Amino acid sequence: MNPAIMPRVPDPQTPPDQHGARVSAPGDGSRPGGRPGALKGRLLVVAAIVLVALNLRTAVTAVAPVLGDLRDALGLSTTGAGILGMLPPFAFAVFGAVTPVVIRWLGLERTAILTMLLTFLGQGLRAVAPESTSFLALSLLALGGMGMGNVVLPPLVKRYFPDRIGSVTAAYVLVMQLGTAVPPLLAVPVADAAGWRVSIGQWAALAVVAAVPWLLLAARARRDAPADGTGTPRPHVPVRALLTSRVAWGLAALMGITSLNTYALFAWLPEIFVDAGLSPAAGGSLLSLFAAVGLPMAVLVPWSASRMRNPFPIVAACLVAYVVSYLGLALAPAAAPVLWTVFAGLAPASFPLSLALVNLRSRSHEGSAALSGFAQGVGYLVAGLGPLVVAALRETTGGWKVPMFFLLATLVPQVAGGFIISRRRMVEDDVRSVLRHPADTATHTLDR
């Protein structure tokens, strides 16, 4: 990795921060790890992180509103449509799992550029795909870029904003939520005016915009690189070492089960209400409410977690919200649909909590990258099963009680994972014996 874009080496005399990690000695704020709270020189990085986040769901939500036109034009079968629906979580899992290796090879900044390049190519080329197979393949390419983007953002926050983890995480999670909500709102009007290909292809331009600040940052890094190539070695945290890490598995459980429940509700919440006697329009409106309720949580939860020694109360509050919602949906969905939907929308606040904990439970951006890749690789693999299992249970039982009680049962490993990851232990503590440069971790003492 380019030594010119490394944060300043933490000063052993600097007191540990509230999370136990030592921050860099005071600087001018123009480089990573400078004066805490100073954003001078880092505004470009804020813009770069936010723009990447804005791209991370557009390929997922831009297609569904125009799926009928797409199927007619490309001959996409029902099986093909099902595969298209399954691609996002599994692409996020596979590409997310390999991203830490790519980061070690290319560096964080150039990996961010690669994520936007893949997203641009996939989004743009699938809009002109002549048939369904190439459309699915190019969708996988776009989603792969987004899966890599999911993983690279937390270590970028850790690298450039170790003093603002909660605030910057909240900002990019909020923007990611907006990037989820806006494409379906624009899809049909744009398709009516210019066709479905323009409707889904327009988002490729956003990936180009997001790549520009990272190109500038990478160019600055090359310009500032020392001629002799010297730099302080940093500890490498192999993803395979996290197989025995309690921190990594705890985070994977919290993130994965939250995502499983979220994907299941996005897929089936409207149908639950329609089967209970509500109109399809009401079901769609309640799904929009479900998504909207999560927006303030995207801001409040990371900010709050960064100020708590143990954020398990947030996990417990999410559990209560899930239980109220699922019992209501299972036993009396038509009795108070808005209430059940509001609780269902509040419950996935454990997802932005998970993203914040990637950095709050790692000492370096290397540790953050490994933890992010592991948790999201495992987590999204689990998440992809949610809609499928719920559909199978609904088909087998003919109702929604059993699927809702299945989702309730998944909360047991979620809460267990939340309990583990909420404890104040860093992932480097679990893999200390396999770090290539264990002496480097001596300057990052954990406040016990």
With 90 as the cut, is the pLDDT of residue 276 above it? yes
Nearest alpha carbon to residue 38 among 145, 124, 167, 164: 164
Query: Residue 72 contacts by C-beta under 8 Å, 6 or more apart in sequence?
Result: none
Let me know: does 91 contact 136? Beta carbons within 8 Å. no
User: For residue 92, what pLDDT band results from cuts at 50, 70 and 90?
Assistant: very high
Report the alpha-carbon distance of residue 195 to residue 13 in Å, rounded.
Answer: 62
The SS3 call for residue 22 is strand
CA 422, distance to chain mean position in Å, is 18
Let me know: does 393 contact 410? Beta carbons within 8 Å. no
Summarize the confidence of residues 348-359 as an average pLDDT: 96
Least confident of 21-35, 44-58, 135-149, 163-177: 21-35
Quote the pLDDT of residue 222.
Answer: 64
Quote the pLDDT of residue 5.
Answer: 40
Quote the pLDDT of residue 193.
Answer: 94
With 90 as the cut, is the pLDDT of residue 435 above it? no
Digit-coded pLDDT (tens) for 123-156: 999 999 999 999 999 999 999 999 999 999 999 9
User: For residue 86, what pLDDT band results from cuts at 50, 70 and 90?
Assistant: confident
Give the angle subtended at the CA of 6 by the CAs of 3 and 7, to the nearest 5°: 150
Quote the pLDDT of residue 423.
Answer: 93
Digit-coded pLDDT (tens) for 360-419: 999 999 999 999 999 999 999 999 888 889 988 998 999 999 999 999 999 999 999 999
With 50 as the cut, is the pLDDT of residue 181 above it? yes
Quote the pLDDT of residue 282.
Answer: 87
Let me know: does 287 contact 338? Beta carbons within 8 Å. no
Quote the pLDDT of residue 21.
Answer: 41
Q: Select the more confidently predicted residue: 7 or 97.
A: 97
Quote the pLDDT of residue 223.
Answer: 61
Mean pLDDT of all residues in the chain?
85
Four-CA torsion 371, 241, 262, 390, nearest 10 degrees: 170
pTM assigned to the model: 0.83
Query: Got the DSSP string for 381-401?
Result: HHHTHHHHHHHHHHHHHSSSH
User: For residue 251, what pLDDT band results from cuts at 50, 70 and 90?
Assistant: very high
Gap between the terminal Cα atoms of the chain: 31
With 90 as the cut, is the pLDDT of residue 203 above it? yes
Q: What percent of the chain has pLDDT over 90?
A: 64
Quote the pLDDT of residue 221.
Answer: 64
Digit-coded pLDDT (tens) for 402-430: 999 999 999 999 999 999 999 999 999 98
Digit-coded pLDDT (tens) for 40-79: 568 899 999 999 999 999 998 888 888 888 889 999 887 8
Quote the pLDDT of residue 225.
Answer: 53
Quote the pLDDT of residue 188.
Answer: 87
Q: Give me the domains of the chain, ranges plus CATH numbers.
A: 1-231 (1.20.1250.20), 237-448 (1.20.1250.20)
Residues pairing with 16 in the sheet: 22
Q: Select the more confidently predicted residue: 184 or 448.
A: 184
